[in-house]
A and B are shown apart, each in its own frame.
Chain A
Amino acid sequence: MDAIDPIKPLDDYAAAHTTPIDPLIQELIAETHAELPERAGMLSGPLVGSVLQFLIATSDAKRVLEIGMFTGASALMMAAALPDDGELITCDISARHIAFGKRYFERSPHGHKITVLEGGALENIKQLDGTFDFVFIDADKPNYTNYYDAAVPKLAPNGIIAVDNVLWSGEVLDPKEENALAITSFNEHVQNDPRTINVMLTVRDGLMLIRRKA
């Protein structure tokens, strides 16, 4: 998702002053734009990917859950920030997107850390054992609250949940269509959740960072 208009010039400057991303991921992003132009807006983009990498490295995360893999750019970026015995489980419903991403995972020295679960994420999450140090939610917007409520109990005590597109192109200021309304209601849900502490960053399309209360 592109940055919201007023944010864009600042974000472009910010991206230019952020450590450049790996060439393989640049290739993956370029091929996504070429092969799936109508869906390339679903990419989180390199800047959000860099923030995710940064948080994973900083918090020393070992086990990551991603809900909504798309073509795998964010999964591969997060996997690169994990130690060699780290694990990333990512969920997607589209066999086409999964096949696309897997071609790149195979070429990456970090691909062995990634497990892809195909199918409905809510069902797949229920089957997962153990806790996660980091969760990234970037899937169908009407289910954001459901994904969040499924993820909170699986979050390690010091874990972080990052959620993309929480500004929904700025439409959250005056929400009308289904996705904007779903995001607005999700944001309120998190803001009123006594279990967690959250901060909303005006990075690209909006990124919410959530952690458990101590």
Chain B
Amino acid sequence: MGTKAGLRRIGSYAAEQTTPPSALAQQLYRDSVSTFHEPRISCGRVKGMLLQTLVAALRAKRVLEIGMYAGFSALMMAEALPDDGELITCEIDHEKIAFGQQYFTRSPHGHKITVREGPASETIKTLQGPFDFVFLDAEKTGYLAYYEATLPLIAQGGLIAVDDVLFGSVPEPKHDRGPDMVAFNEHVRNDDRVSQVMLAVHSGLTIIRKL
């Protein structure tokens, strides 16, 4: 079994052995793939269900997402929040926001979601903490700045989940954005304000806990 083919088969098996997302979230996912033709950008079933598990385990009430894209992960996380929970998601692309909002309005959990259009770095400056959970899934060059800007807004014991930490096949970063990811990963590893665990699930997910 070759490395890439093997990873794909094992990844597919893991997805098959994971509870399917809600019908609406699945539809959003499918439609986003056919609309935007960028299937790898959305975070997928396993990561979506892992985000739900973490939000539920933490009994999170306030979630911040940096990089909404088409809204799949926002909807997944909102489904795991209590009815008075709140999810603020940042996105710069008006077309993606309009797309996602069509699904939020159809969901019984959509009322928990507030979309903030514009550069996330500006939006974050206007936000009041504390947040229980942050999901970081935006352009990789901005990860370090987003991490530093959001850490003060997170409650003690709260989590930051960071997507794509194996981006560009880090250990051997050949992809042009690989070096940004490597630098970010080293930064987190050396940060004594947090503890963290990195999961080699698809493109990688680091879960960081504020001490």
Contact = CB atoms under 8 A, between A and B. Distances in A.
Interface in B161-210: 165-166, 170-171, 185, 188-189, 195-202, 204, 206-207, 209
Interface in B46-87: 46, 49-50, 52-54, 56-59
Contacts of A18: 196-198
A6 B6 contact: yes
Given A6-B3, A202-B200, A58 B209 contact: yes
A98 to B, nearest CB: 28
Contacts of B199: 14, 51, 201, 203
Interface of A: 4-7, 9-19, 47, 50-51, 54-55, 57-60, 158, 160, 166-167, 170, 172-173, 187-188, 190-191, 196-203, 206, 208-209, 211, 214
B145 interface: no
Contact of B17 (A19, A57, A190): A190
Interface in B11-35: 11, 13-19
Nearest to A209: B53
Contact of A199 (B11, B49, B165): B49
A138 to B, nearest CB: 17
Contacts of B50: 199, 201, 209
A191 B58 contact: no
A10 B6 contact: no
A187 B200 contact: no
Shortest Cβ-Cβ A-B pairs, 8 listed: A6-B6, A10-B200, A14-B198, A199-B49, A59-B57, A200-B14, A19-B195, A200-B17
A79 to B, nearest CB: 16
B94 interface: no
B57 A158 contact: yes
Given A14-B204, A54-B207, A199-B53, A173 B14 contact: no
B17 A187 contact: yes
